[in-house]
Amino acid sequence: MPILGLAFGIALGFAGAFGGWSAFVIVLVLGLVGYVTGRALTGELDLSKLFVTRERRPQ
């Protein structure tokens, strides 16, 4: 995991240095999306709590 963090930091550094602020933010957001997706697919993160449906009341 430390190597992945280092790689992500280097990618953010290059994006900030050569692409400006907008490239930095895009790399950051896409990295976070990839991280959350990876954790969810491996089962380490339960996203079902975010998508709770309300129960219908009996009529």
**What torsion, rounded to 10 degrees, do the Cα atoms 6, 8, 10, 16 define?**
-150
Res 33: pLDDT: 83
Please report which confidence band the pLDDT of residue 59 belongs to, taking 50, 70 and 90 as the band edges.
low
Contacts with 47 (C-beta within 8 Å, 6 or more apart), sequence order: 40
Res 58: pLDDT: 66
11-46 residue pLDDT tens:
888 888 888 888 888 888 888 888 888 887 788 877
Q: What is the pTM of this model?
A: 0.64
Res 42: pLDDT: 81
Q: What is the greatest pairwise CA distance in the chain?
A: 61
Residues 15-48 as b or e (16 or more Cβ within 10 Å = b)? bbeeeeeeebeebeeebeeeeeeeeeeeeeeeee
Res 30: pLDDT: 83
